Structure 1
Amino acid sequence: MNTLRHRATLLAVAGTALALSLTACQSDSDTTSSSAATPGATVASTPAAAASTAGKGTGTTHVTGPTDSAGSAESKGSTGSTGSTGTSAGSAGATGEQVAASTPVCTAGDVHVTAARQDGPPYTHLVLTAKNTTRHSCRLTGFPHIQFLESHKQDLPAVAKSKPAAPVVLAAGAPAYALVKLSDGGADEDNEPVSAFSVMLEGDSTVIAVSAPGSEGIAVDPAKALTGYWTPELRKGADDF
């Protein structure tokens, strides 16, 4: 009987120890499982935090490495487009030419043309003045188309060297000039008296009648007569002919 009780006691103790051992193992397993699942669980339970973390990572990638260098290069390129400032300046110059080109051409109704002797005697040259009589700007192109005599129905030849480099734009009230050669001033020339003559502007077929200066008019040699281009001012050298 004592032997049986002793075995029963041993079995009970062993069973208790086994139960305790199993409980401890299970507890350790749960703890390990819970610890392993923590990071995944945190991300899954807070998607906003995950998105925020991903966003920071993207931002870091954007501002570092090649992307940052590319950004800097692009930034320098656009800043260095200081060359584009020069282009703008060039455009401004091109724009000025465009403004001149867009200004309407002067017509006979826009200007008042007069003639005056230059230097002399002998009086070998005239100065034509075309004054803008309107309240707006206009562009005076080319040279005056002049016919002095009924017996010579052709325009005077123009002197190429007198052509201005830029278009002649007349503001309201502003004048332009053209030098006109009448003769060489020699006594043996075939001069003819002229009291009035006709002028036409380039691009306008309207005839402008201009009175010759002086009470006796002017003496013209049709073989020597020449005209210069319209210019904002008479220029010595370019207008000497």
Structure 2
Amino acid sequence: MRTSRHRSALLAAATTAALALALTACGGEGTGTQSAGPADNSSAPAAAGSSQDAGATKDTSKDTTAAKTTGNGSGTADSTGGDAAASAPACTTEDVAISAARQDGPPYTHLVLTAKNTSGHSCTIKGFPKIQFLESHKEDVPAVAKSKPAAPVVLEAGAPAYALVKLSDGGTDEENEPVSAFALWLEGGDGMATVNAPGEGGIAVDPAVWATGYWTHELRNGADEF
């Protein structure tokens, strides 16, 4: 009888111990799963956040693309404006008022020609002035190549262009001939202009040495020294 009760007590204790171990084991698995669960859950919002960020980046890219398109449009407009200016019609003698002045300093061997755009619209003054000083010499005064500008000279309304013209080597020379007015043509433009020479006595020119520079926006003494 005692043995049977003793066995029953031992069996009950063993069962209790086994049950405790089983519960402990189950609790461990539950704890691990909970740790893994929040980690997975925390990673899921992060992924969603990444998706939103990517969407924002994509939208920004679209905005950037739109901005670039707008910028290109403006650039095209600027470029078109530049092309339009570069393709302005050739200035004619009716588009510009041409005057002549002695270059500062004796012996006044050069003239400065000024062509001011009085047409009210843009025009391109091309090449160099075609000048004939003397009835006895019908050829045009030759141009000096080093004075040629790198780009077309487009004159906005009211803007001037300049050209330097060599008359002689200075001093008294029997080859020099007096000139009170001379004829001038513009390259690519119609019509002839008669330009009055400066000074009461006019100017003295030497056909052996005369030369002219190209039209430029500014009188470039460095490039036009001849």
- How far residue 83 of structure 1 moved from its aligned partner, in angstroms, is 10
Q: What does 1:71-110 align with in structure 2 at a 5 Å threshold?
A: 95-110=80-95
RMSD: 3.3
> TM-score if structure 2 supplies the norm length?
0.65
2:102 matched residue in structure 1: 117
Q: 2:225 corresponds to which letter in structure 1?
A: D
Q: What does 1:1-241 align with in structure 2 at a 5 Å threshold?
A: 95-188=80-173, 190-241=175-226
- How far residue 184 of structure 1 moved from its aligned partner, in angstroms, is 1.0
Q: 1:120 corresponds to which letter in structure 2?
A: G
- How far residue 215 of structure 1 moved from its aligned partner, in angstroms, is 0.4
Structure showing the higher strand proportion among its residues: 2
- How far residue 112 of structure 1 moved from its aligned partner, in angstroms, is 0.8
Does structure 1 retain, via aligned residues, the 8 Å contact 2:167–2:204?
yes
Q: Which runs of 5 or more residues in structure 1 are unaligned?
A: 1-71
CA distance 1:172–1:192, change in 2 (3 Å):
same
CA distance 1:85–1:191, change in 2 (3 Å):
farther
1:170-201 deviation per Cα after TM superposition (whole angstroms, max 9, x unaligned): 12111111110001114346100001100001
- How far residue 102 of structure 1 moved from its aligned partner, in angstroms, is 2.5
In terms of Rg, which structure is larger? 1
Separation in 1 of the partners of 2:166 and 2:75? 39
- How far residue 119 of structure 1 moved from its aligned partner, in angstroms, is 1.8
Percent of paired sites with the same residue: 68
2:45 matched residue in structure 1: none
Separation in 2 of the partners of 1:228 and 1:91? 35
Separation in 2 of the partners of 1:160 and 1:97? 26
Q: 1:227 corresponds to which letter in structure 2?
A: T
CA distance 1:85–1:160, change in 2 (3 Å):
farther
CA distance 1:172–1:83, change in 2 (3 Å):
closer
- How far residue 86 of structure 1 moved from its aligned partner, in angstroms, is 10
CA distance 1:90–1:183, change in 2 (3 Å):
farther
Corresponding residue SS for 1:112: strand
Does structure 1 retain, via aligned residues, the 8 Å contact 2:86–2:154?
no
Separation in 1 of the partners of 2:78 and 2:171? 47
Separation in 1 of the partners of 2:72 and 2:181? 51
- How far residue 205 of structure 1 moved from its aligned partner, in angstroms, is 4.0
1:193-234 deviation per Cα after TM superposition (whole angstroms, max 9, x unaligned): 001100001112411101100000100001111011111110
After the TM superposition, list the runs of 4 or more consecutive aligned residues in structure 1 that deviate by more than 6 angstroms.
Answer: 82-90
> TM-score if structure 1 supplies the norm length?
0.61
